[in-house]
Structure 1
Amino acid sequence: MVRFKQLLSRKEFIAVAVLFLGVLAFFYYTFFTANYYEGKSPRQFEIRMGESFNEVIENLYVRGIIPNKFNMKAAGCL
């Protein structure tokens, strides 16, 4: 039987825990915090044929529909 102390040193354990909590915080912020839209709702948005994912996100950001391009890209890739 392998003991926990033999797997990771204290520094390695802390590094893994910090990384895990950072990823967990990122996912929480991206998926579970409110994204408020200040404008008139609902808002119509057209996506043209052949438009790339990055172009769609840029247009959403420029029009103020999404507050952050990075979070939208991360959510779209998942």
Structure 2
Amino acid sequence: MAPPDERVRDVLAKRAPVLRTLADESARKPSLVDRLDCSRSTVDRAVADLIEIGFVSEEGGRYAATTAGRLALREQER
């Protein structure tokens, strides 16, 4: 298993489009599938990865970027 910092970098690099979408506004998974033009299983894995590292939270079936997620995304886009 990758060290924690490496895991965070890997997830952020791979899941940035999902995080970017959720940083703009919260969304349900079907909406993410439509917006990102990808499969439901891809969205499921991306959201699970982002929740695991604390960059996305879920409330009432809606997913949103956390403050940590927004900051990490901003830092990555520098």
Same fold (TM over 0.5): no
Report which of the two structures shows the higher radius of gyration computed on alpha carbons: 1
Report the TM-score, using the length of structure 1 for normalisation. Answer: 0.26
Counting strand residues as a fraction of each chain, which structure ranks higher? 2
Counting helix residues as a fraction of each chain, which structure ranks higher? 2
Report the TM-score, using the length of structure 2 for normalisation. Answer: 0.26
Q: Which has the higher contact order (CA 8 A, sep 6+)?
A: 2
